[in-house]
Structure 1
Amino acid sequence: MNMTPHQIRLRLPRPGFTLDVDLALPARGITVLFGTSGSGKTTVLRCVAGLEQAAQAHIHINGQVWQDDAEGITLPAWRRPVGYVFQEASLFDHLDVRANLAYAQKRARRGAGQGESLLALENAIALLGLEPLLHRRTQALSGGERQRVAIARALATQPELLLLDEPLASLDPARRQDILPWLERLRDELHIPMLYVTHAMEEVTRLADTLVVLEQGQVRASGPTARVLAQVDGPVRVGEDAAALLDGHVLAIDTTWHLALIAFDGGSVWISDPGLPQGHRVRLRVLARDVSIATQPPGYTSIQNVLPCVVVTIAPDTHPSQAVVQLSCGATPLLARVTQRAVDTLGLSVGQSVWAQVKALALVGS
């Protein structure tokens, strides 16, 4: 497998701003382009797919140059091995699901044999749980089912890059909850990189391996999702609050108290037992407002999750009475929102060893 990061550099004047991005896309997993409407997210996808031409571009995917203006190289859209999933699943309503997928199979990348192409189609069907739907007309599908078919259709073309442009935006909340686990499965099991556009924080916290924050065509922040979210002066908030992510796995189950112990790189925490087996990967969100700081090991407290940490940064919050403290719990960053008075009273300083008391955690991905 090619583990070299893929390169996407684009510059394109737009009304009101200039899109200017330089991205290193991991060899697998989901890179989320996050930002408000009009920040340039979809334009990036269209330029990568060849549907729109950047004024200056270097697009290097899987050892192939798709576009390099300095070298005079530009592959047309039809020669770029991408799968593109739009907000609306544009399926052929006069065909059933299998026929829709078979049509996409005919567009499989050049050089693929018939057996390889069929295997890609069958893998897509299995990966997205479409077996029960194959003989149904697409008009009879729910919005979430239609999007699963649209994703499978994109995968059936055997792309080297999967582009997803707000695939959940047209779905109601219930249907979004239906399809999110399937997207998590794609992230965990596919061996191709994905570029995923959204302005929904839930999709960021559940799906993103890498997070790129765009504002007016510029990259405000970029890197592993947990690191970007934990920046004390970062541009991303969960609602009105800052948050950190813990990626871990189920280490043990306490059947007496109905709790699960989640191990992560830096410690372990207890959560209510979600019914997952030992070893199962999970992702937890910790809001800064749910973390307090002690300078001595706390005792006789109802808070079950107390983690030894080191103070990394202390920064002012949006209100002058508040501060956001970035903590390092091993290799995992945490954020704590405390008062400026508490910072002064405790004598908090960068490099100081402290204990983070985590009052609440939310399971956001599994």
Structure 2
Amino acid sequence: MLKCDFQYQHADFSLNVELEMQQSLLGIVGVSGSGKSTLLKNIVGLLKPDQGYIQFNQHILVDTRQNIHLPMHRRKITLIFQQALLFPHLNVKQNLCYAEKWLAPSERKFQFDDIVDLLDLNGLIQRKARQLSGGEAQRVSIGRALLSSPNLLLLDEPLTGLDVQLKQQILPFFKRMKDELNVPMIYVTHHLEELEYLEADTLQLNHGQLQHN
């Protein structure tokens, strides 16, 4: 599914990754500054490894020896950030539909109504993004990501900044996504209990080095 063997160097920080993902949900846990976001940004294409390769479903995304660096928009990989980056002047439906408008109908993996039901967004459809709570906004962000029909979904500490009650409300949605959608996910966090709840195979990222947890 996903194979990575690369090095990324920036200032005094070095990330060395050797990873082979075959499961539907891979969890990566590590403290702040361990390189979790840097890892995801290399996979999605926001950063470029100094050496090595990244391959997904037999497609080479990066190979420094062959001078291959596939642009981000051609990778069909979506990254969900710690904070929901919604268009504040648009309502929820418009934010969700923005992800679909660049796709031909034949490329769409999910139906709009199915994603709205999965994430329990029916009561929010006409609300402006700026009127949403943190947890509501993050669910919309997840829905928009799914409606972009990614082949791989990357979640960068998606519950950061939410209180315990909101985390407990949103984690079941991730569990449903794992169980009901055929989209592989990499979920990074510094809270191991989130990955235990999701029953994710887990790796530890420590000072730029991946280790089995």
Name the counterpart of 2:90: 95
Is the contact between residue 105 and residue 118 of structure 1 (CA under 8 Å) also seen in structure 2?
A: no
Q: Confirm whether residue 200 of structure 1 aligns to residue 191 of structure 2.
A: yes
C-alpha spacing 1:122/1:83, structure 2 compared with 1 (3 Å): farther
Equivalent in the alignment of 2:75: 80
Percent sequence identity is: 40
| Alignment of 1:172 onto 2:154 | no
Q: Distance in 1 between matches of 2:9 and 2:200?
A: 29
Distance in structure 2 (CA, Å) of the matches to 1:191 and 1:92: 27
RMSD across aligned positions (CA): 1.7
Deviation, 1:162, is 0.2
1:128 aligns to 2:119 (yes or no): yes
How many Å apart are 1:171 and its aligned residue? Answer: 0.8
Distance change in 2, residues 1:133/1:139 (3 Å)? same
Report the counterpart of residue 203 of structure 2 in structure 1. Answer: 212
In the alignment, what sits opposite 2:148? 157
Match of 1:40 in 2: 35
Task: Using structure 1 for the length normalisation, give the TM-score.
Answer: 0.55
Q: State whether structure 2 residue 53 is matched by structure 1 residue 62.
A: no
Q: Distance in 1 between matches of 2:9 and 2:106?
A: 44
4+ residue runs over 4 A deviation: none
Cα distance in structure 2, aligned partners of 1:210 and 1:197: 12
Measure the CA separation in 1 of the matches of 2:176 and 2:167: 15
Q: 2:16 aligns with which of 10, 17, 20?
A: 20
Counterpart residue identity of residue 99, structure 2: A
Q: Counterpart amino acid of 2:7?
A: R
Q: Aligned partners of 2:15, 2:88: CA distance in 1, in Å? A: 36
What is the rounded CA distance, in whole Å, between the counterparts of 2:199 and 2:4 in structure 1?
18
Corresponding residue for residue 282 of structure 1: none
Q: Which has the higher strand share?
A: 1
Post-superposition Cα deviations, 1:201-240, rounded to whole Å, max 9, x if no partner, equal: 221211242211011101132xxxxxx4xxxxxxxxxxxx
* TM-score computed with the length of structure 2 as normaliser: 0.93
In 1: Cα distance, 2:71 partner to 2:206 partner: 28
Is the 1:164–1:196 Cα contact (8 Å) retained in structure 2? yes
How big is each residue's C-alpha offset from its partner over 1:154-203, in whole Å with a ceiling of 9 and x where there is no partner? 11110001011111001111111110111111111121211111001221
2:197 maps to 1:187? no
Q: Which has the higher contact order (CA 8 A, sep 6+)?
A: 2
| Alignment CA distance shift 1:116-1:72 (3 Å) | closer
Give the superposition deviation at 1:130.
Answer: 1.4
Unmatched 5+ residue regions in structure 1?
Answer: 222-227, 229-366
Count residues in correspondence.
Answer: 213
Q: Which range is displaced more, 125-134 or 176-185? A: 125-134
Report which of the two structures shows the higher radius of gyration computed on alpha carbons: 1
Counterpart amino acid of residue 14 in structure 2: T
